[in-house]
Structure formats: C-alpha cells, structure tokens
Structure 1
C-alpha cells in the first residue's frame, strides 16, 4: 500500500501562536524549529512514498522550503489538522492508500510509532482511522496530573475496548485511578500519541460532518469520527525507553529540550 505523510502546520494556534517556528535546542546546543524537527522525524520512517508539509501561512512555507521540505498550501478555513490533511490530498496530483497525519507539534515521535500504526490499519480493513497509544509510566502520568492541577492542557489520554477500538479520548486523565505510581512503574493510563492513519475516503468525509458537542468541549479532532460512529483503532506502541511529549504550551519547550538532551538527540 502506498503511504503519504502529511505534516499539518498553522501559525495562528490559539494556545501558542507561531508554534511551528519555535526553536528547540538539541543535545548539541543547536536550535532547530519545531517544523524542522517534525519533518526530520517523518523522514526517518521506512516505507513512506512521500512527505509534505501542509500549511496556510507563507512564513511556515518559507521556513519549510528553506530546509528542503515539500509544501502544499491549504485554506485558512481548515479548522484542525485532519481537515488540513484532507485539503492537502485534494490539492495533490497523486492518490495514496493510506494518509498519515504527523502533527507538527510532536517532534519526539519515533519512526517505529508510525511504522506500527501503518501496519495496524493495514491489518484491520474494518477501521477507518488508526492512532497510536502509549502506556504511561508514573513519571508521565504525574506530569499529566501536574498540568491539570496547574490549569494547563497537557497530554491527551485514551480508553479502548477489547478489540482495541477507541471508546473515548480526553484532555482529562482517564481512566481515574486514585493511585500513586513510582516514576518507572507501568500505569493503566494510555497517552494518546497525536498521529493518525486514515483511509482516504474517511478523511475526505470528515470535512463534511458537523462538529459535534464532544469535539467542541474537548477540542479533540478525532472525536468527530467517534461521534459519527466510525471506528478508530488504537495501536499500542512501545516507547523502547524513549520519552515522548508534544509541544502544547510554551512551558513544554524546556521539557522537550531536556528530553532531547537526555536522549542525545541533536
């Protein structure tokens, strides 16, 4: 199956304007923009036919083309990354069997997360969308809880059934445990990794559906699929000792830079 990776990026983020162009310093002390690090992460994935940045902003376009990325311009009317991916494939001259949305705020996404995600949706022709989930250790869970206590939007969590089909996604920490976990202990909470694999027909249909109350309340684009009774497969991935975090708030910059340094990632 042919695979396209789209990296949606917009400048006018509500929570963090200009986020794709924010610099992150690696272990070597060299600063690279968030969009550059996201592009580098995508380029490390095997078996991908094409990678593009999808944006509506000339500043992002110029920055991305400066480091060699292919850019597809999309409408300012796109309300989230999924809609921007749909707009990107409509603007392109080729079709693909699977479209991967590697959101431009997740530069720590390991290549095998995406490879496992693609393999997961290929093995399940009954699902329209797949997304990775990562079992949290105590350190990550405590970070989520600290963010919520401080009134910050941290990582998204996911719950799913026996078939691994999603039941719900939330910016709150679910399921509730009421327990305290050691930093290196496994917990029953799964971190939703902000990457998606879509079948093109489902991706194109997404933009025709109304935004439902759950998507409105949570601000989570994937809930539109659940509200339309579409199957979303959760693919459990293994961090293999790597830390993972998205850049959601300015406070996340030093956290991600510390992770890059700890990993020895330039």
Structure 2
C-alpha cells in the first residue's frame, strides 16, 4: 500500500504567527527551522513513498525548497491541516492508499509513531482515520495541567473505548482524576500526538463537510470526523525514552530545545 506524508504549514498561526520558520537549536546549538525539523522527522519514517509540504505562503515555500523539500501550494481558505492535506492530495492527482498528516509543529515525533500508525490503519479496515496517543506520566500530566492553569494550551488529550475507537478529544486535560501520580508513574491521561493517517476517500469527504460545532468550540479539526459518525482509531505508541512535545506557543521553544539537548538530538 502506497503511503504519502503531507506536512501542512501556514504562516498565519493564531497563537504563534510565523511558527514554521522559527529556529530551534538542538544539542549542537545549530539552528534549524521548525518546518525543516518536521521534514527531517518525516523523511526518517520507513515505508513512505513520498513526502510533501503543503502551504499557502511563499516564504514557507521558498524556505522549504531551499532545503530540498517538495512543496504543494494550497489555498489560503483552508481552515485547518486536514483540509490542507485534502487539497494537496487532490492537486497531486492519483491518491495513495494511505495519507499521513504530520503536522508541522511536532518535530520530535519519532519515526515509529508514524510507522505504528500506518500499520494499525492497514490492519483495521473498519476505521477511516487513525491517530497516535501517548500515555502521560505524572510529570507530563502535571505539565499539561500547569499550562491550562496559565491560560495556555500545552497539548490535546484523548479518551477512547475498549475497542480503541476515539470517544473525544479536548484541549482540556481529560479524563479528570482526583488521584495524585508520581512523576514517572503512568496516569490515565493520554496525550494526543498530532499525526493522522487517513484513507483518501475519508479525507476527501472531510473537506466537503462544513465546520462542526465541537470542532469550532475546541479548535480541534479531528472532531469533525467524530461529529459525522466516522471512526478514529487511537493507536497507543511507546516513547522508548524519547520525550515528546509540540510547539504550540512561543514558550514551547525553550522547552523543545531543552528536550533535544537532554536526548542529544541535533
């Protein structure tokens, strides 16, 4: 089955304008842009036939082409990364068997997260979409809660049923738990990793639907699928000692750089 990775990127981010072009310094101190690091993460995934960056901004296009990336220009009217992926696939012509949306704000995404995701969608013909979730330690859960108390969105959480089908996603920290958890202890909270694998038909259908009510309230594009009764399979992935965080706010730059230094990632 052929696999295409699309990295949607826009300059006009509400929370962090110009985010794709922000430099991050790894263990060596050498700067590389967020979009370059996301491209590098995509290129490290095994079993992928093609990787493209989808953007509506000439600055991102020029920068990405400068480091050798293939770029597809999309409309400024795309409301989110899933719509941008759908347009990119339509512009490329013959669709692959699986489309992966590797959002451009998660440069620490390990290759095996995406590989496990693709394998899970291949094995589950009843699901239209698959997305990875990572069980939070007590420390990760505390960081998410601290961000919410500070008025920031540190990440998205997911809840799912016994069959691993998603029940809901939220920028709040769910499920609520009154218990305390040690820093390295597992908690009942799952951090939603911003990657999706779609079947092309479901992706094309998504782009034809209007924005959903819950999608608009939460600001989470994947809720449009759930509101339309489509199945999203949550695939639990293992960190294997890797730290993971997304770049959602300017404050996350130093956090990501500290993680890269700790993991000796350049």
Equivalents in 2 of 1:25, 1:115: separation in Å? 26
Residue 132 of structure 2 corresponds to residue 135 of structure 1:
no
2:77 maps to: 77
1:27 maps to: 27
1:6 maps to: 6
Residue 259 of structure 2 corresponds to residue 259 of structure 1:
yes
2:91 maps to: 91
1:151 maps to: 151
1:179 maps to: 179
2:193 maps to: 193
Equivalents in 2 of 1:12, 1:153: separation in Å? 18
Q: Over residues 207-247 of structure 1, what are the superposed CA-to-partner deviations in whole Å (9 max), with x where a residue is unaligned?
A: 11121211011000000000000000000000001110000
Q: Which runs of 5+ in 2 are unaligned?
A: none
Find runs of 4+ consecutive structure 1 residues off by over 6 angstroms: none
Equivalents in 2 of 1:76, 1:51: separation in Å? 21
* Superposed CA RMSD: 0.6
Structure 1 residue 19: Cα displacement: 0.2
SS of equivalent residue, structure 1 residue 84: helix
Equivalents in 2 of 1:6, 1:207: separation in Å? 15
Matched ranges for 1:32-51 at <5 A = 32-51=32-51
Equivalents in 1 of 2:71, 2:94: separation in Å? 15
Residue 56 of structure 2 corresponds to residue 56 of structure 1:
yes
2:202 maps to: 202
Counting matched residue pairs gives 266
Deviates more, 1:232-241 or 1:175-184: 175-184
2:237 maps to: 237
SS of equivalent residue, structure 1 residue 196: strand
Structure 1 residue 120: Cα displacement: 0.4
Equivalents in 1 of 2:152, 2:95: separation in Å? 39
Q: TM-score, normalised by structure 1?
A: 0.99
Equivalents in 2 of 1:154, 1:255: separation in Å? 11
Q: Over residues 10-57 of structure 1, what are the superposed CA-to-partner deviations in whole Å (9 max), with x where a residue is unaligned?
A: 000011000000000000000100000000000000000000000000
Q: Over residues 114-168 of structure 1, what are the superposed CA-to-partner deviations in whole Å (9 max), with x where a residue is unaligned?
A: 0000000000001100000000011111100000110101110000001100000
Q: Over residues 47-79 of structure 1, what are the superposed CA-to-partner deviations in whole Å (9 max), with x where a residue is unaligned?
A: 000000000000000110011100000000100
Equivalents in 1 of 2:108, 2:225: separation in Å? 26
Q: Over residues 58-108 of structure 1, what are the superposed CA-to-partner deviations in whole Å (9 max), with x where a residue is unaligned?
A: 000011001110000000010000000000001103320000000000000
SS of equivalent residue, structure 1 residue 61: helix
